[in-house]
A and B are shown apart, each in its own frame.
Chain A
Amino acid sequence: MTGAEHPFGAARMQPFGRRVRVRNGWMVGVWLLLGALLLWYSTLIPVFGPFQITSISKNSLPLVYLAIGQAIIVIAGGIDLSLGALLLLSNVIAARFMDGQPVGVVVVIAIALIAALALLNALTGYVITLSGVPDIVVTLATSYIWSGLALWILPSPGGGTAPEMRWLFTGSTSGIGGSSWPPILMMLIPCAVIAIWARRTRQGLTLYAVGSNKTAARLSGLDVRRAKIVSYAIGGGMAALAGLATVAITGTGDPRFSVGTNATLNSVAAVVLGGIALTGGIGNPFGVVATAVILVMLNPILIAMGVNSNNAQVIQGVLIAGVMMVGGLVALLRERAS
């Protein structure tokens, strides 16, 4: 990652074509990789049709939402280890209170949940700016608080949601099979809105500015605190959406701590693989959508290749580490060359 990918400054000096290439190269690359993987997967299994497309797109929804939220927070210079716990919280509240309710009530609960968790995580962001405690520590502590609350609300897996809700995220009222358009649209619309907001609006670019250099951003008159709080609010809202998607896909709520931890760690992996620097200020959130889907797809692909699921986990880890090593090596060689 060099200064050339920066949304402000040095990039202005370079010819337009190169600038576009450098800025969007990684994002286009991961989407091409996703396309190639899909093609390959379609040759691996005997039947590849709408059923598989629906299945892949709906199963990636929770991670895609969580990763987009994480991406926005990381771009603004933070990192949120509580997103998985917020997913749990949203999942169990939805499962407990939506069970057996008419569709109107379910929609109200869903909207209220998104607003409430956005507010809750904005509060986390506020605590970070107020206390001066690093993001990673504050969100580590809040991850305990939220997952404890989730366990208190729903002590054991159960609950449910309205068929309409399930249709919205899975394309079928029973959660099995169905049309692939609802999940694909539910994936692309929120992500496109957030990605375009981040890249094209004043407030979105503020996040990049704050993430790349807090002091410079403050000195040029940007509200650094507000940027952090806004980024955390978006992360919280996306985590709520991820929890809603989870209840729609599985049909139940599951308060297990490990589910939340895994979701958090996968969201960080998707963000980094998607070309967003953990140091903040660099990267396009839209690339993260592709890497999140890739991470979810890896398992079925490896299993279709005849690898057992434990080895699949090993290969996934090796691939993540391997990709990052190659990335580090390329950066190192580029540095040596210049």
Chain B
Amino acid sequence: MKQLRARLADNPLASLVGVLIVLFVVTGAVQPGFFSLNGARNTLLQAAPLGILAAAQTVLMLTGGIDLSVTMIATGAAYIAANQSPNGAAAAIVMGLLVGLLIGSLNGAGVAVFRVNPLIMTLAMSGIVLGLFTAWTQTVLAGATQVAPLIKLLGGGAFLGIVPYSVLVWGGVSLLLIWLLRRSGWGRLIYAIGDNEVAVQLAGVRAWQVRLSAYALSGLLGAISGILLAGRTGAVDLQLAGAFLLPSVAAAVIGGTSIFGGVGGYAGTILGALILSVLNSLLTFLNVGQAIQQVVYGVIVLALAWGYASLTRRSAT
């Protein structure tokens, strides 16, 4: 038993996999249809946009930051993509991504250059974007509610009818991000800044550039997620991504990324996003009503974070 615990502590991701399997089995027991190909596909379809939003949070949390505007960025990008859809899907997607990049860069400028607290900067940005798009939906963006067929296919369709395209996109983003964080110099700087920014600066690195690029990347990831979400639902509205904000932070935290920076990685976040998505399916199948659903969700997120903390702390001491 002691040995098992020590082994789990050395490899906390294994315990996350265990949690995921348990949740998966329980969900299957509640709803037998869940074990089918369809059930797995639906879970992954739910997990993909959440996983990509949580990727943004993971990168920023590694630098000691956070992005509370990422879901508004997603919504904004989806609107732009819908608005540009008559010009073709490619133009729509590129414009949507550019909008995400722009808003993310503005966040980055505020945080990295003007040293505004990330919580406040992204919170204010979220309000700005919400206000702008609420106004624009009545003027320049009026009528932009449907997205191009290709985007619908990307968000909701499946390759050969088996693997959803959004999951393929998520897979690509994951591979790239894990490679960037583990192997590239940029990734090392992300960890280093979260660990000790002063040391990074004294080593001659322009830390503000790395930080700014992280926020720009966060905006880009938010936009990808928003476009996929718009494709899945087929239409856009101002509440498109809002409900994913807290889960995106929770997925990164459950996955073992420290909110204070320097510790964690995207592999854990992927598991976190999957766990939250399966949990969501389970609570939906149980049909307990939204109130109990929220309570159980909160309790389980707290329990997972607590368990993870006690597991990894034991290994540290």
Chain A interface residues toward B at CB < 8 A: 127, 131-134, 136-138, 140-152, 155, 257-258, 265, 268-269, 272, 278, 308, 310-318, 320-321, 324-325, 327-329, 331-332
Contact = CB atoms under 8 A, between A and B. Distances in A.
B288 to A, nearest CB: 10
A138 B117 contact: no
A144 B125 contact: no
Interface stretch (B13-21, B47-55, B194-202, B296-304): B296-304
Interface in B121-139: 121, 123-128, 130-132, 134-135
Most chain B beta-carbon contacts within 10 A, residue among A269, A313, A315, A332: A313
Nearest to B308: A133
Given A149-B291, A278-B119, A325 B298 contact: no
Which among B120, B128, B293, B306 has the highest number of chain A CB atoms within 10 Å? B120
Contacts of B260: 134
Contacts of B124: 269, 317-318, 320-321, 324
Contact of A145 (B116, B123, B298, B309): B298
A143 B313 CA distance: 25
Contacts of B301: 140-141, 144
Contacts of A136: 259
17 contacts: A133-B302, A134-B258, A143-B246, A143-B298, A144-B294, A145-B294, A145-B298, A145-B299, A148-B292, A148-B296, A151-B294, A152-B291, A269-B120, A310-B135, A314-B131, A316-B127, A324-B114
Interface residues of B, number: 46
B250 interface: yes
A324 B299 contact: no
Interface of B: 68, 110, 114-117, 119-121, 123-128, 130-132, 134-135, 242, 246, 249-250, 253, 258-260, 289-299, 301-302, 305-306, 309-310, 313
Across the A-B interface, the 5 shortest Cβ-Cβ residue pairs: A148-B294, A144-B298, A313-B131, A152-B291, A317-B127
Contacts of B295: 144-145, 148-149, 152
Contacts of B125: 317, 321
Q: Which of A155, A257, A311, A325 has the most CB of B within 10 A?
A: A325
A316 B253 CA distance: 30
A interface majority secondary structure = helix
Contact of A324 (B121, B259, B298, B306): B121
B68 to A, nearest CB: 7
Contact of A325 (B116, B249, B259): B116
B103 to A, nearest CB: 12
Contacts of A321: 110, 116, 120-121, 124-125, 128
